[in-house]
Amino acid sequence: MIERSGDMMNSMTFGATGTGRSGRLKSAFAGLVALVILTPVAAAAHDTPSGFADLAEKVMPAVVNIATKQEVKAERQIPLPELPPGSPFEKFFKDFLDRNRPDDSQPRSITSLGSGFIIDAKGFIVTNNHVIDGADEVTVIMGNKDEYKATIVGHDSETDLALLKIEAKKPLPFVELGDSDKPRVGDWVMAVGNPFGIGESVSVGIVSARNRDLQAGNFDDFIQTDAAINKGNSGGPLFDMAGKVVGINTAIYSPNGSSVGVGFATPSNLAKKVIADLRQFGEIQRGWLGVRIQSLTKEIAESLSLADDSGALVTEVISDSPAAKAGVMLSDVILEFDDQKIDEMRNLPRIVLETPIGKKAVMKVWRDGKAKNLSVQVGKFEEQKVAAAEEPKAPEQPVGKNVLGMDLASLTPLLRERFEIQPGTDGVAVLDVDPNGRAAEKGIRAGDVIVEVDRQKVASPADVEARMKAANPDRKAVLFLINRNNQNVHIALPTEG
């Protein structure tokens, strides 16, 4: 179950409004307990404080409650009768049914509550995107009960951040974004918010962990805290002991929807550029390379003669993208970008995000057993349209062969239809897999398409077998590029035996 902590509904009923990003909050704790989007906590001072009253008194005036209202139009309960197009009775029946529809089909107003914080005296306010997503009206409620109508300056579903603006007749109290890289595991932090809609509350805890990946998106780098945070805390600040915001409370891990001491906050350093872009442009000016990537495993690293599994493995290069123009190739491993080492695959999207659009950066890639430097000019991310290629000609009858426990065949129109293989995907079809074989062990399954073996394209089972035999005998695994459901993924298959 995935629920939004900011969606505090009337009569204490909690809604579960969806955003693209929250829909991906799933695999990290699948089958265990719910990941509830709420508030996390981060680190701070090294000595145990004697109390937190002075800090709370200092920061609480800048923390606000956010109330949203959304009109939900119910579906018509009684359908219109089937009438010929343009029939004069069409308007008659529509008007009649509108006048006589039951009360529960009338538009309903849904309200929800969340948290936020003021970042300057002019009235700019930071909160979570899921707190205001879909809202028709947003109201900001100060700690002294003053209320202001807010406008949405901009929002970003990828990082779950939003920026609001209110107009006040006097300068407003505000807090500053701090350096989220400074808090260490074990440092004290304070969370302030509006749990369950009951009003401003303070809780304290420590930074439990850093760099948490919840599989929520490309920019996951959460701070984990044990501070008590609950529904309604979404969008609230996580403070260090100097009173600087080091995180924006976003999610909790919970079996029952309430705090069990595992909360997550978006780091302030990630939020700074997002907020600056929203304030200046009303949207995110996000850098773009034009590659799809995956993590390396030890087997994949071995198959590529890499010393370790750091880096980002390229599974697709978008045509006419900055990466394509720079000469990036399928199955390259990106080791460094703009003088920053890619320790993990998920580091690369964040680094590109923070790189100014138009900047020329040096990118180190691993290709054919050696490192190579490429010069790439960072582009601006926009939704890309990929045109489908023409259906390639292929023989009607597949030529079958068993290789490494896989029944393989050349692609034919019949196989494309059987496995729903998209036009433009070329390679060798996997018809069946021995459940006790190494291919099955590594996750290959019927319907997969083998596109490359050892970085060489294949078009027949014989090509697959030949590439396996030609692979370096010193390697323990050979790299396969698999297309599954129109997405590329690399898998290393052992060569022993």
Name the residues annotated as catalytic. 130, 160, 234
Strand 63-72 vs strand 263-267: parallel, antiparallel, or unpaired? unpaired
Identity (one letter) of the amino acid at 130? Answer: H
Contact 204, 188 (CB under 8 A): yes
Contact 315, 292 (CB under 8 A): yes
> What does residue 136 show for φ and ψ, rounded to 5 degrees?
-90, -25
Q: Can you tell me which residue has the tokens 């699948």?
A: 30
For 55, 118, 207, the CA distances from 190, given in Å and listed in that order, are: 9, 16, 10
How many Å apart are CA 478 and CA 492, to the nearest integer?
Answer: 5
How many Å apart are CA 191 and CA 204, to the nearest integer?
Answer: 6
Closest C-alpha to 399, from 390, 391, 389, 411 = 411
How many Å apart are CA 61 and CA 144, to the nearest integer?
Answer: 8
Closest C-alpha to 42, from 260, 218, 221 = 221
Q: Give 188's DSSP letter.
A: E
Q: Is 28 exposed, middle or buried (0-12, 13-18, 19+ CB in 10 A)?
A: middle
Beta strands in 286-399 (DSSP E): 287-288, 291-294, 312-317, 333-337, 340-341, 360-367, 370-377, 379-380
For 3, 21, 258, 463, the CA distances from 255, given in Å and listed in that order, are: 12, 21, 8, 51
Q: Is 53 exposed, middle or buried (0-12, 13-18, 19+ CB in 10 A)?
A: exposed
CA 122 to chain centre: 31
Q: Is 396 exposed, middle or buried (0-12, 13-18, 19+ CB in 10 A)?
A: exposed
Nearest 5°: the CA angle 295, 296, 301 is 165
> What does residue 129 show for φ and ψ, rounded to 5 degrees?
-60, -40
Q: Give 62's DSSP letter.
A: G
How many Å apart are CA 5 and CA 36, to the nearest integer?
Answer: 7
The secondary element (H helix, E strand) that includes residue 470 is helix 461-470
What's the residue count for the chain? Answer: 497
Which alpha helices (H) appear in 217-297, and where do they start and end? 268-281
